[in-house]
Amino acid sequence: MTIIRPEVTGRSSGLSAIQLPTLSALDLERHVSVPAAAEIKNVSVDTFRRHYSHLIKKVSPRRDAVKLRDLIQETA
């Protein structure tokens, strides 16, 4: 993706204000709940289950989770 300098367009892109945290390898292996994963993707839980069901793992009989590494790779 090409970022156009604000000096050229006369407006700011807003992207420069966003600071993404650096995640360690251990953080990336963390499992997050499906509602938390849906919030990260900015969709409802039902939409997440419908479109990203391949990322959901059954951790226990009552708990579904998504590995943070898989969620980030799907986003990129």
Q: Where are the domains of the chain?
A: 26-75
C-beta separation of 41 from 50 below 8 A: no
Residue 55 carries which DSSP code? G
pLDDT score of 48 more than 90: yes
C-beta separation of 31 from 66 below 8 A: yes
C-beta separation of 52 from 74 below 8 A: yes
Confidence (pTM) = 0.67
Q: Which two tokens stand for residue 25?
A: 């390898």
pLDDT score of 49 more than 70: yes
Residue type, position 13, single letter: S
Length in residues, the chain: 76
